[in-house]
Structure 1
Amino acid sequence: MRISQLDGKGVALWGWGREGRAAYRAIRSRLPELPLTVFCNPEEASEAASLGDTHLVTDTDATAERLGAFDVVVKSPGISPYRPEAIAAAERGTRFIGGTALWFGEHVGADGVVARTVCVTGTKGKSTTTALLAHLLRAGGHVTGLAGNIGLPLLEVLDPEQSPEFWAVELSSYQTGDVALSGAHPHIAVALNVFPEHLDWHGSEARYVEDKLRLLTEAAPKIAVVNASDPRLAALPLPGSVVLRFGDDSGWHLREDDLYRGGHFVMDTRALPLPGRHNRGNLCAVLTAIEALGLDAAALAPHAASFRPLPHRLQSLGTCDGITYVNDSISTTPHASLAALDCFSQRRVAILVGGHDRGLPWEDFAEAMREHAPLAVITMGQNGPRIHALLAPVAAQGGFALNEASDLADAMAQAKALLGDDGVVLLSPGAPSFGMYRDYVARGRHFAELAGFDPDTINTIPGLGIA
């Protein structure tokens, strides 16, 4: 859907966060006099009213009846279309889309493809993968846009002063369906992995998987790059796309720590600033996508050595009194916490887990602790007691220390006491921050502050925008 197609329709915005404000500005850039209603909280309503837009009305009560009065509702990604009021409004004929759908609609070519756009999704690793893709393309001299779920809404770069040669776009499971709704096909879609996540938004694991994979199954990219080692992705039928696989012997893959293209050795990855073998494995996804763009991926691969890791993603803050502090606040699934532990398997580690309870299962994590436990696991947050109860029988066998904490400060104090003057305090919660913090960024900043580091120096995502 193009923004011009909203003309003459009843249109509302649902959400006035960064995505909502970006949608407002994008619509106004094309349709300055289109009547708009924004559904938001009272504080946001005051901010919206202060704009002085006589064609903008605010409403703080997004009921099914009120939403159902509009032809189109442009909702922010964090608002689930499976909420009862959204379902009821949709049954009345209201169409719900996101800013991602509008951006793709504005960029679609005559052939239905958004040319030279690489979309990246996956339960974990998608931000680092997308940023690494942009980094390597720029290292090759190509002007590249880096945007999406990584921290810059696509609609904020709707009309850039300089049109990039390539787009590197991160998409969450909240946004993948929007690409399908736009009617456009990505040039390349990359799928890294699929684990249960965001069950509160999607309603079930099955729906999460279905929504996540809509980027491949419904948006029908021209080229699909999928992880051969993920059984769900490897077996996915994609008749409308050329399918390229990474992680198997015929393409880009790792052999231990060595990077190979088919049977040809390319480089040793151990010194790369990509924490965790899973991130170095995602380098294979990046190189597969670059190759699909018609570029020499092998020539660009060494530039991964100059990549700057992203904040809050296995981010080493530094060492104080013998203890290294690692900020993995972005970790919102137990699988991510296990991957983080694997990065420090040779160190004495106290891992801090727990947060908002979305109902994700922790049984696999508990089972892994039988053979791959750190020195200590400290639980906290809403789901902390549930995690602690699962781990207690395993810890009782003498494999690791298991403590409970009232909050992050308490968890860190206990971790330092257990480690003494040597080890790693690893914040990898495996759960969202809601209820205790605004988001994972605020949680990571507080972790840095409690550890004695300046939170402002660890918070910038490098390379956002067009460069």
Structure 2
Amino acid sequence: MDCSIVSTQENRLDALRSWDADWSGLRVVVTGISKTGFSVADTLAELGARVVVVAASDDDDARGHADTLRIVGVSEVILGEATSTVLPLVDGQQAELVVTSPGFKPTHPLLAAAADAGIPIWGDVELAWRVQTKAGRKTAQWITITGTNGKTTTTTMVESMLQGAGLRAIAAGNIGTPILDAVRDPQGYDVLAVELSTFQLHWTQSLEPVSSVCLNLAEDHVDWHGSFAAYAADKAKIYENTRVACIYNAEQIETERMVQEADVLDGCRAVGFTTGLPSISMVGVVEGLLVDRAFIAERKDSAVELANVSDIGDLVPRHLVANAAAAAALVLAYGLSPADVRKGLQNYHNGEHRIQPVASSEGVLWVNDSKATNPHAAAASLAAFNPVVWIAGGLSKGVDYDELVQAQAARLKAVVLIGADSSALAASLAHHAPTVPVIAVREPLLDGDAVMALAVAEAAALAADGDTVLMAPASASMDQFTSYAHRGQAFMDAVRELMESRASAKKES
């Protein structure tokens, strides 16, 4: 490709740093037409760009979105698996920009063709950062959160703390509200708590958050990134250009190294969080109290109480305390007070499918942690209970289970396996926990709800007084369920049916 053409494109894109910049006529290809792709295409059309949307989906929802996008001014919508891998022309010319949805891997043929042609590729988060500034509308500060696990919990804790302080704030990005919908809000926000997946971080370059955190790092999404090293490199992008404080996990050296290697803005600090006693420039825990030794003048020899760990809730495993410490550090960097942190934690509701007690009957605690979609998350759940009848399995995403099983084998009373193919987890259990009974629920003709009902029945037969039945699958859900929420709901429904059956049996006797 002519280098002068590439240079002209880059110069034009570099100038696009606000809503009021000249986006008119910019030729853009948008990949995907679900929530993210739709918001991207809608935004660009409103800005006056010439937009072609490409999506593999061709169902009723996709066609409905396509009709809406054509009405708002999108030039063309191309649906269907056969055409979704081809980089289309825009108004008969090569695109100047591709904005991709997170589901598209960098190796996707369309994105690979764009890269080969020298066409810049952004994600929705990069676009949102560039268009958020608009005359007459409040420009929000960003607090950014990533990590293999705990992102949503920490992000919603940050949101609760900000709102408790009287700020107009919202959780957005990889959670809840699409980031472009948040930045286009007519009233504007004071602060955005932005959860970012590695899929989104991969395509970012311009973000300048007030504070940022990588909560933890463990093997996940290797199938998308191609390697663990590539996955870790994208996680580390969370810290680039941070303005006030990079928050790292003092119990995981990898996150501290990310901060050390990050290109941050002048004056940015490194602040650790821990579930143990905090050193200087850390937020941590002392005798059941969450305390700050980072954002006070006397941090060399004292700490300030932020909250009681019990303020978080009745069931507070270690990783939930870590999330609270990270959230506190993020908002203290923004300028909130200790009282704001406490109020936010007291108002916080963890939501469903995250270490969620479902029932307690005959001395057995039933816990739903369907959000534990990888080994690292499942390990955190398992570490909170002993002994455990563990319901696990599903779509593995190419991860390894050996470390998880080795670390948690001693607390496993039994394992009930679900999933269309849980052979990798079964092999790890056979090798590293050979004395633990494993029952596989293999009913390929049943739907996910029926499979879960069988798994709950098997777990009930195995559990006794003092045990916990924990559904923390360490796997994705899409092989038998529509989502982790569907899987979690199926578990809760099955447990409640079991409780009702037991209650009826007692009445009859």
TM-score (norm 2): 0.79
Native 8 Å contact 1:101 1:179 kept in 2? yes
Superimposed CA distance per residue, residues 236-276 of structure 1 (whole angstroms, 9 cap, x where no aligned partner) = 32352412222242221124633222333624314522632
Residue 39 of structure 1: aligned partner? 55
The CA distance in 2 between the partners of 1:388 and 1:317, in whole Å, is 26
Go from structure 1 to structure 2 and tell me whether the alpha carbon gap of 1:299 and 1:18 turns closer, same or farther (over 3 Å shift).
closer
The CA distance in 2 between the partners of 1:306 and 1:171, in whole Å, is 23
Answer yes or no: is 1:208 the counterpart of 2:231. Answer: yes
Go from structure 1 to structure 2 and tell me whether the alpha carbon gap of 1:342 and 1:5 turns closer, same or farther (over 3 Å shift).
farther
After superposition, where does 1:148-163 map in structure 2 within 5 Å?
A: 148-163=173-188
User: Bigger CA drift: 61-70 or 330-339?
Assistant: 61-70
Superimposed CA distance per residue, residues 12-60 of structure 1 (whole angstroms, 9 cap, x where no aligned partner) = 22111111122122223322x7343332322155223433536333232
Shift of 1:97: 1.6
Go from structure 1 to structure 2 and tell me whether the alpha carbon gap of 1:67 and 1:429 turns closer, same or farther (over 3 Å shift).
farther
Shift of 1:420: 4.9
Residue 458 of structure 2: aligned partner? 414
Go from structure 1 to structure 2 and tell me whether the alpha carbon gap of 1:67 and 1:103 turns closer, same or farther (over 3 Å shift).
same
User: Which amino acid counterpart does residue 306 of structure 1 have in structure 2?
Assistant: N
Answer yes or no: is 1:349 the counterpart of 2:374. Answer: no
Q: Which of 250, 264, 283 is matched with 1:240 structurally?
A: 264
Q: Which of 364, 374, 396 is matched with 1:333 structurally?
A: 374
- Unpaired stretches in structure 1, ≥5 consecutive residues: 454-467
Residue 465 of structure 1: aligned partner? none
User: Which amino acid counterpart does residue 227 of structure 1 have in structure 2?
Assistant: N
Go from structure 1 to structure 2 and tell me whether the alpha carbon gap of 1:222 and 1:80 turns closer, same or farther (over 3 Å shift).
farther
The CA distance in 2 between the partners of 1:28 and 1:74, in whole Å, is 13
Q: Which of 66, 79, 84 is matched with 1:59 structurally?
A: 79
After superposition, where does 1:133-152 map in structure 2 within 5 Å?
A: 133-152=158-177
Residue 353 of structure 2: aligned partner? 312
Shift of 1:85: 3.9
Native 8 Å contact 2:372 2:378 kept in 1? yes
User: Which amino acid counterpart does residue 239 of structure 2 have in structure 1?
Assistant: L
SS at match of 1:178: coil
Q: Which of 280, 292, 301 is matched with 1:261 structurally?
A: 292
Answer yes or no: is 1:364 the counterpart of 2:407. Answer: no
Native 8 Å contact 1:366 1:391 kept in 2? yes
After superposition, where does 1:6-25 map in structure 2 within 5 Å?
A: 6-25=23-42
Shift of 1:300: 2.9
Answer yes or no: is 1:446 the counterpart of 2:463. Answer: no
Answer yes or no: is 1:198 the counterpart of 2:237. Answer: no
SS at match of 1:360: coil
Q: Which of 452, 477, 493 is matched with 1:433 structurally?
A: 477
Go from structure 1 to structure 2 and tell me whether the alpha carbon gap of 1:20 and 1:170 turns closer, same or farther (over 3 Å shift).
same
Go from structure 1 to structure 2 and tell me whether the alpha carbon gap of 1:49 and 1:87 turns closer, same or farther (over 3 Å shift).
closer
The CA distance in 1 between the partners of 2:154 and 2:107, in whole Å, is 29
Shift of 1:6: 4.5
Shift of 1:137: 1.6
RCO higher in structure (CA 8 A, sep ≥6): 1
User: Bigger CA drift: 35-44 or 229-238?
Assistant: 35-44
The CA distance in 2 between the partners of 1:96 and 1:145, in whole Å, is 27
After superposition, where does 1:386-401 map in structure 2 within 5 Å?
A: 386-396=424-434, 398=435, 400-401=436-437
User: Which amino acid counterpart does residue 245 of structure 2 have in structure 1?
Assistant: I
User: Which amino acid counterpart does residue 35 of structure 2 have in structure 1?
Assistant: R
Native 8 Å contact 2:418 2:455 kept in 1? yes
Native 8 Å contact 2:142 2:193 kept in 1? yes
Q: Which of 187, 201, 208 is matched with 1:185 structurally?
A: 208
The CA distance in 1 between the partners of 2:324 and 2:416, in whole Å, is 32
User: Which amino acid counterpart does residue 176 of structure 2 have in structure 1?
Assistant: G
Native 8 Å contact 1:39 1:62 kept in 2? yes
Residue 90 of structure 1: aligned partner? 115
The CA distance in 2 between the partners of 1:215 and 1:46, in whole Å, is 35
Residue 27 of structure 1: aligned partner? 44
- Unpaired stretches in structure 2, ≥5 consecutive residues: 1-15, 294-301, 443-450, 498-509
Identity of aligned residues (%): 27
Answer yes or no: is 1:48 the counterpart of 2:65. Answer: yes
Native 8 Å contact 1:120 1:190 kept in 2? yes
Superimposed CA distance per residue, residues 283-303 of structure 1 (whole angstroms, 9 cap, x where no aligned partner) = 121221222112213553254
User: Which amino acid counterpart does residue 252 of structure 1 have in structure 2?
Assistant: V
SS at match of 2:202: helix
SS at match of 1:426: strand
Shift of 1:429: 0.8
The CA distance in 1 between the partners of 2:311 and 2:467, in whole Å, is 21
Answer yes or no: is 1:284 the counterpart of 2:343. Answer: no
Native 8 Å contact 1:315 1:326 kept in 2? yes
The CA distance in 2 between the partners of 1:186 and 1:387, in whole Å, is 39
User: Bigger CA drift: 123-132 or 222-231?
Assistant: 222-231
User: Which amino acid counterpart does residue 360 of structure 1 have in structure 2?
Assistant: V
Native 8 Å contact 2:132 2:184 kept in 1? no
Shift of 1:171: 0.8
Answer yes or no: is 1:379 the counterpart of 2:417. Answer: yes
The CA distance in 2 between the partners of 1:138 and 1:352, in whole Å, is 36
User: Bigger CA drift: 13-22 or 419-428?
Assistant: 419-428
The CA distance in 2 between the partners of 1:195 and 1:258, in whole Å, is 28
Superimposed CA distance per residue, residues 191-245 of structure 1 (whole angstroms, 9 cap, x where no aligned partner) = 211111111111110100011111214x445431212221111123235241222
Go from structure 1 to structure 2 and tell me whether the alpha carbon gap of 1:93 and 1:303 turns closer, same or farther (over 3 Å shift).
closer
Native 8 Å contact 2:148 2:218 kept in 1? yes
The CA distance in 1 between the partners of 2:187 and 2:30, in whole Å, is 28
SS at match of 1:448: helix
Between structure 1 and structure 2, the one with the greater Rg is: 2
Superimposed CA distance per residue, residues 102-145 of structure 1 (whole angstroms, 9 cap, x where no aligned partner) = 111113699xxx76211111111111111111111211222212
User: Which amino acid counterpart does residue 58 of structure 2 have in structure 1?
Assistant: P
SS at match of 2:26: coil
Residue 335 of structure 2: aligned partner? 294
Consecutive aligned runs of 4 or more in structure 1 exceeding 6 Å deviation:
none
User: Which amino acid counterpart does residue 253 of structure 1 have in structure 2?
Assistant: G
Residue 123 of structure 1: aligned partner? 148
Aligned length: 441
